[in-house]
Structure 1
Amino acid sequence: MADALTLRTMTRSEVDFAVGLAADEGWNPGLSDAGCFHAADPEGFFIAELDGRPVGVISAVRYGGGFGFVGLYIMVPEARGKGYGIRLWRHAMAHLEGCNVGLDAVTEQEATYRRDGFTSYYRSARYEGVGGGETPEGVTALDGVDFERIAAYDRCCFPGEREDFLRAWLKAEGARGFGVLDGDRLTGFGVIRPCVSGYKIGPLFADDGDVAERLYSALIATIPGEPFYLDVIEPNAAAMELAGRHALKEIFVTVRMYTGGEPAMEKDRIFGVTSFELG
């Protein structure tokens, strides 16, 4: 049966299928995530087929600067435990040869990834809240901010260049974004997007807790009464304080892991992770 397994790059429409599997698993993806994900690296999404039937998916996105990220690793239940998953994994990792590869692992799988050469660096926690409140002063709609400023800020907070992804993410249907400017200087920005259930904030990048607070308030003011989710890295104490100050409920945690050491990025500016699937 293993010889009947086919591994290949997904088409754009098959990325929709992969995100649908993520929804079935309860990962609550964004409604426009598939198009944005594909824009990051059209060659970085892989599907396993058994006798022409899809049985597994994975993303292995190559960013600029020699950085890659693995996510969306899902086998359909009836194909698990048969060796198909590891073949798909190895196929995807070959796409990232030469990269420092990152992923966000659920804690139950941390040991598995360690055996495959990944090292754990820090935890992230997903928090849940309910939207509402007033838009604070001093924030501006992100579509009025020059994209190059946004991309430059993003490069401080992410290990690789991802401008194609970022352009798609900011323009995704239903997404709302805000920035804070100090004169001509961007001091932070954030995005909120509709998901299968509620909304997710990500990224939320800011110079300090005060800027993050303003952006957070502006984002949740757009969704009164709706549930939202924010993924916070534990090394950023100010981000953890923001979650605590607003009495957000912790849902689950992941572990950030890398194959080639922790890359340089300003974690004290990361108040909300962009996506557990793509980093």
Structure 2
Amino acid sequence: MTGFEITGASAADMGLIRAWADEEGWNPGDCDRFAFTVADPAGFLVGRLDGEPVACISAVRYGAGFGFIGFYIARPAVRGRGYGIRLWNAGMERLDGRLVGLDGVVEQQGNYRKSGFRSAWNNVRHEGVPQGVDGVAGAGTATGAEAGDGVEVVDAASLPFGQLAAYDRRFFPESRDAFLAAWVGLPGRTALAAVRDGRIEGLGVIRPCSAASRIGPLYAATPRIAAVLLRRLARLAPGGLVAVDVPDVNPRATALCADLGLTPTFEAARMYTGPAPELDLAGLYGVTSLELG
């Protein structure tokens, strides 16, 4: 392995990593990398062969006890030569002593199990134009009749950020305030919240991607609220075409996607190195990101 070294990712590398993920068919968000680097600036590693980037991985630290592995890619020309496993080991070493999560594609799940990961559930990507969406209307404001009595859908940016962060914490093992602030506020994306009597009862974010616009996270107290948020966000997507990564451990979320006419297209197993963290899975209708959790 002469000539191979592992370094932190530069800003230029982050754009390259996004392009590689796109080539893998993962449909990354156009601006996701800006929120990713805020989450953990040192959490993205690149393997270079004679100075040329040939592999990457993210090993992002959250709080004091959680980490997440993503963007594990070796370029086709160098696969099978041991560069990927060296990068994997470097990423896992960076997260040593933490509970570690990842979303593993089907063909790699056996390898992840050998590294001590165990499946908690599957995140199944559902794609399509939700029934009732014309793809051209504005976001608007949902009425109580649409979302449930007393529920209003508002621009999430109009709410105190501390309230948004506390709500997000119900669905993620650690606080991630810096990441969340960037995630909901980057140009080209929209975040909507469902509010009842001053309490947040739903949150959804849509972002532009190479193919279908991605919705994530999608949190909701009821399927009705989730449906309203999903439809409202889909109206902002070109042609109404969206994709949402749905945890199959929430059967109401899976049923909702079927009712709206969305089709399963891809799946990855959410895996952890230890017991799965306690999350509000009944309110989790779409995960934020398969790359960072």
Deviation at 1:99, TM superposition (A): 0.9
**Deviation by residue 1:189-231 (Cα, 9 ceiling, x = unmatched):** 1000000113000000111212212211211122262421011
The reply to whether residue 116 of structure 1 matches residue 115 of structure 2 is yes
The reply to whether residue 229 of structure 1 matches residue 243 of structure 2 is yes
Matched residue type, 2:10: T
Matched residue type, 1:145: L
How does the TM-score come out when normalised to structure 2?
0.92
Task: Assess if the C-alpha contact under 8 Å between 1:139 and 1:218 holds in 2.
Answer: no
Which structure 2 residue ranges, 5 or more long, are not aligned?
Answer: 144-151
Pairs within 5 Å for 1:195-274: 195-223=209-237, 225-274=239-288
SS for the counterpart of 1:225 is helix
The reply to whether residue 126 of structure 1 matches residue 125 of structure 2 is yes
Deviation at 1:120, TM superposition (A): 0.9
Matched residue type, 2:28: P
**Deviation by residue 1:65-93 (Cα, 9 ceiling, x = unmatched):** 41110000111111100001000000111
Task: Assess if the C-alpha contact under 8 Å between 1:130 and 1:224 holds in 2.
Answer: no
SS for the counterpart of 1:192 is strand
Deviation at 1:3, TM superposition (A): 2.7
**Deviation by residue 1:120-179 (Cα, 9 ceiling, x = unmatched):** 111111011126346532211111111111110100001121111101111111101110
SS for the counterpart of 1:3 is coil
Q: Which residue of 2 aligns with 1:53?
A: 52
Give me the whole-angstrom Cα distance separating, in 1, the residues matched to 2:178 and 2:236.
26
Q: Which residue of 2 aligns with 1:21?
A: 20
Give me the whole-angstrom Cα distance separating, in 2, the residues matched to 1:149 and 1:65.
22
Q: Which residue of 2 aligns with 1:278?
A: 292
The reply to whether residue 147 of structure 1 matches residue 146 of structure 2 is no
How does the TM-score come out when normalised to structure 1?
0.96
Q: Which residue of 2 aligns with 1:41?
A: 40
Task: Assess if the C-alpha contact under 8 Å between 1:12 and 1:35 holds in 2.
Answer: no
**Deviation by residue 1:88-119 (Cα, 9 ceiling, x = unmatched):** 00011111111100001111111110001101
Give me the whole-angstrom Cα distance separating, in 2, the residues matched to 1:96 and 1:57.
16
Q: Which residue of 1 aligns with 2:73?
A: 74
**Deviation by residue 1:218-256 (Cα, 9 ceiling, x = unmatched):** 111222624210110011111111101111111011111
Deviates more, 1:65-74 or 1:209-218: 209-218
**Deviation by residue 1:33-68 (Cα, 9 ceiling, x = unmatched):** 111111110010000001111110100100114111
**Matched length:** 278
Q: Which residue of 2 aligns with 1:189?
A: 203
User: CA-atom RMSD, angstroms?
Assistant: 1.2
SS for the counterpart of 2:215 is strand
The reply to whether residue 176 of structure 1 matches residue 190 of structure 2 is yes
Matched residue type, 1:212: A
SS for the counterpart of 2:289 is coil
Q: Which residue of 1 aligns with 2:148?
A: none
Matched residue type, 2:55: G
Give me the whole-angstrom Cα distance separating, in 1, the residues matched to 2:206 and 2:123.
18
The reply to whether residue 102 of structure 1 matches residue 101 of structure 2 is yes
- Seen in structure 2, the aligned counterparts of structure 1 residues 216 and 226 have a Cα distance that, compared at 3 Å, is closer
Matched residue type, 1:144: S
Give me the whole-angstrom Cα distance separating, in 2, the residues matched to 1:232 and 1:188.
15
SS for the counterpart of 2:242 is strand
Which structure 1 residue ranges, 5 or more long, are not aligned?
Answer: none
Give me the whole-angstrom Cα distance separating, in 1, the residues matched to 2:126 and 2:79.
30
Give me the whole-angstrom Cα distance separating, in 2, the residues matched to 1:124 and 1:27.
13
SS for the counterpart of 2:2 is helix
The reply to whether residue 162 of structure 1 matches residue 176 of structure 2 is yes
Give me the whole-angstrom Cα distance separating, in 2, the residues matched to 1:77 and 1:37.
24
